[in-house]
Amino acid sequence: EFKVDTKKDSFALEQIKNNQYANKYFALEKEISAFGINFSSEKRNIENWFFEQLK
């Protein structure tokens, strides 16, 4: 999930989990990774990123 200028650092990753975007892939019996990436429009670059292994 990509976000721009979010106030809460881990908001993109939380959205992946809260909206259950990965649920349809759980039946594939493979590793599922979630990445939340926040961009800064001021710096025009990645501000921070978060990773979580979901399965």
Pick from 6, 11, 5: nearest CA to 50:
11
Four-residue CA torsion sign, 41, 43, 46, 47: negative
The angle subtended at Cα 17 by Cα 3 and Cα 2, nearest 5°, is: 15
User: What is residue 41's predicted lDDT score, i.e. its pLDDT?
Assistant: 95
Range of the domain at 33: 2-53
Would you give the distance in Å from CA 26 to the centre of its chain? 17
- Per-residue pLDDT tens for 1-55? 999 998 888 899 999 999 999 999 999 989 999 999 999 999 999 999 999 999 8
In the numeric block, the tokens 């909206």 are attached to 19
Q: How many domains does the chain have?
A: 1
